Amino acid sequence: MKIVLIGLCLAAGLVQIPAAPTNNPAPAEGVTVEPAATTPATAVETPAQRDARMAWWREAKFGLFLHWGVYSVPAGKYGNRTDYGEWIMNSARIPVAEYQAYARQFNPVKYDPALWAKTAKAAGMRYIVITAKHHEGFAMFPSAASKWNVVDATPYGKDLVGPLVTAAHAEGLHIGFYYSQSQDWNNPGGAKSGFKEGDGWDPAHKGDYDAYLNNVAVPQVRELLTTYPIDILWWDTPMYMTPERTARLANLVKLRPGLITNNRLGGGFGGDTATPEQFVPVTGYPGDWETCMTMNDHWGYNAWDQDWKSSTDLIHKLAEICSKGGNFLLNIGPTSAGEFPPASIARLHDIGQWLRVNGDSIYGTTRGPFPYLSWGVATRKGNLLYLHIFQWPKAGRLQVPLQNQVKSATLLAQPGSSLPVTSQDGQIILTLPAQAPDSTDSVIALEIVGQPVTAPLPSAGAHATASAWLPGSEPANAFDGTGEKRWRAPANVKSAWLEVDLGQPVAIGAFGLDEPDVWPRLHQHYTLEVAEGAGWRQIAAGKTQGHGVCQPLAPVTAQKFRLTMVCEQGSPGVAELQLYRAE
């Protein structure tokens, strides 16, 4: 992943792979991720057929991502540095022969696929996606297309993905494979981030990209789809994938009826699911989408990385993602011996414990009706709203910006409970116990009459202007409510402002900012101001990490707001800016 997306690799020293002729056209300028859409294999589907194919995935909401490969042997360390991850071969420019030697130490004798599947199920996960081949090009399955695979190149000598497919099905879980179709740092001709097509840092892996596709990628995808009964194919980093090249792989999808694919194949083929990486989009995405995220700072195992997200943080992210209509694919990087790190297991245990009580508020839910709640988030099932309270109100009064009649309000942790409900100033007021049933996330099931009725988002569709913009990246794109389109300044601009006029003064209590989902990530300084008299007054400032920001404000009543963005790399950009009413 990362383009620096994430991926598997292949080497060429331990395994003798014949070189291919070199072909070096113009380099690709980074990676463009296609919007989620239908694949060629599913383009003739009716909406009802698509809904039927996607039904289990939409119900599941929570899955396990597994990044496992030869990179788990050096475990992040190379030379004097310990910050490398699954990109270690590329980041450290390790020669092919040296990297392939690590495979002689890849012997996961403690691998227990049944235990892995049981652990995922106990955590409340409903599906698994494992790296069948990451950017290192190493196949975790027997492959006739390349001897750089677990059977031919390691002392373990056995298929790794097949037993996990069997174990997952035994636990009632769905399962899929991640496959790095373009990046391959060992097989000659595979794409390498930072290099022109056909090039690399070692003559052993330079070669013709089309030869790589025809001789390695296409045959291996065919092997995977005809050998294993999988449900998902998760592509990654579509470097150099023209429509013609992409079609060679996309046409294979029909070999596995019902297969779900993501939007990283390239060449204009959007797949079924969008894939925000390492962040929760402030607005969510339309359609089917899935946030993939690590528990610490690396996808593959890194023995030195102890920067773990807390269980509370991960539970909050699960609830927030579901409140915006998405799925959560949470990653573990197993060790080279075949074990999950203890810190990962502890967090899965905590999430599983929470889901055993509150699972109804996650599984099968859809996007909630609120763009922002100061105290948490909300998911939905028809006339049931599930209120996830992250910050228990000290006064015992929970304000819900909802105008509907309420039939009942019950704490999921206390099924027989009935909470008093009143209405005031167009809001519902719930009277709560003094203590939260769960300090992490207490959930209230709120049954309402009719469709949810909420106040409109003040900034949606409001009049917008900016100091500069590219054609097709107009200011209005930042207020269309989706995050799909963007406002972006020209390449030579490093500082630009985006202004919105709400039409009348509105009391605003928070704002949310989504950034363009591009690689490399935009790192921007932001300043939010309100118009006062003949000037502007600053009300918020900070720095992003390419993933946007959502921030409460001291309530301010104003009609015009200005967001100034200063970009450290690239030009300033905003996918969506939302201003939320004060509660």
Q: Within a 10 A sphere around the Cβ of 186, how many other Cβ atoms?
A: 33
pLDDT, tens digit (0-9, with 9 covering 90-100), for 122-180: 999 999 999 999 999 999 999 999 999 999 999 999 999 999 999 999 999 999 999 99
pLDDT per residue over 302-361, tens digit each?
999 999 999 999 999 999 999 999 999 999 999 999 999 999 999 999 999 999 999 999
| pLDDT tens track for 465-509 | 999 999 999 999 999 988 889 999 999 999 999 999 999 999 999
Residues 104-137 have pLDDT tens digits of 999 999 999 999 999 999 999 999 999 999 999 9
Identify the DSSP state of 289: B
Tell me the mean pLDDT in the region 54-66.
98
Length reported for the chain: 583
417 vs 423: CA distance, rounded Å: 20
> Residue 12: pLDDT above 80?
no
With CA atoms as reference, report the closest residue to 266 among 286, 243, 289, 287: 243
43-47: Cβ within 8 A, 24+ apart: none
Domain with CATH 3.20.20.80 in the chain: 40-361
Residue 42 has pLDDT above 90, yes or no: no
Whether the Cβ atoms of residue 514 and residue 483 lie closer than 8 Å to each other: yes
Please work out, in degrees rounded to the nearest 5, the angle formed at the alpha carbon of residue 37 by the alpha carbons of 36 and 41.
130
**16-24 average pLDDT score:** 30
* Residue 568: per-residue pLDDT: 82
Dist CA 232 CA 252 (whole Å):
13
Amino acid at 474: E
In the chain, the amino acid numbered 212 is Y
Beta strand 487-488 pairing with 573-574 = antiparallel
pLDDT at 40: 46
From-to residues of CATH 2.60.120.260 in the chain:
463-581
What is the maximum alpha-carbon separation in the chain?
75
Q: What is the mean pLDDT of residues 229-236?
A: 98
Residue, of 419 and 42, whose pLDDT is higher: 419
Asked whether residue 70 carries a pLDDT value surpassing 90, the answer given is yes
Query: Residue 410's beta-bridge partner residues?
Result: 445
Provide mean pLDDT across the span 21-29: 28
What is the CA angle 432-434-435, rounded to 5?
Answer: 105
Confidence of residue 21 (pLDDT cuts 50, 70, 90): very low
pLDDT value for 43:
57
Element (H, E) at 550: strand 549-567
Distance CA 119, CA 366 (A): 26
Judge whether 444 and 387 are in contact, CB under 8 Å.
Answer: yes
- Could you tell me the pLDDT band of residue 399, with boundaries at 50, 70 and 90? very high
Q: Which of 2.102.10.10, 3.40.50.1470, 3.40.50.720, 2.60.120.260 is the CATH number of 463-581?
A: 2.60.120.260
- Tell me what pLDDT residue 216 has: 98
Count CA atoms within 13 Å of residue 124 on its CB side. 27
566 sits in which H/E element: strand 549-567
Rounded to an integer, what distance in angstroms lies between the CA atom of residue 24 and that of residue 426?
64
> Residue 520: its pLDDT value, please?
85
Contacts of 170 (CB under 8 A, 6+ apart): 114, 117
| Whole-Å CA distances, 228 to 162, 428, 464, 582 | 7, 51, 51, 52
Residues 219/221/222/228 CA torsion (nearest 10 deg):
140
pLDDT at 85 over 90: yes
Residue type, 140: M
- Rounded Cα distance between 149 and 157, Å, is 9
CATH 2.60.40.1180 segments of the chain: 368-448
CATH 3.20.20.80 assigned to 40-361: yes
456 CB-side CA count, 13 A: 8
What's the mean per-residue pLDDT of the chain? 92
Residues 6+ apart with CB under 8 A from 421: 406, 409, 428, 429, 430, 431
Q: What CATH number should be reported for the domain whose range is 368-448?
A: 2.60.40.1180
Q: 3-state DSSP: the chain helix, strand, coil percent, rounded to 5?
A: 20, 30, 50
Residue 11: predicted pLDDT: 29
Contact yes or no for 547/421 (Cβ under 8 A) = no
Q: 3-class DSSP state for residue 344?
A: helix
* Token pair recorded at residue 550: 């959502």
Residue 64 has pLDDT above 80, yes or no: yes
What pTM does this model have?
0.92
* Cα-Cα end-to-end distance for the chain: 39
Rounded percentage of the chain residues whose pLDDT exceeds 70: 93
Residue 528: which of 510, 507, 504 has the closest Cα? 510
pLDDT surpasses 80 at 363: yes
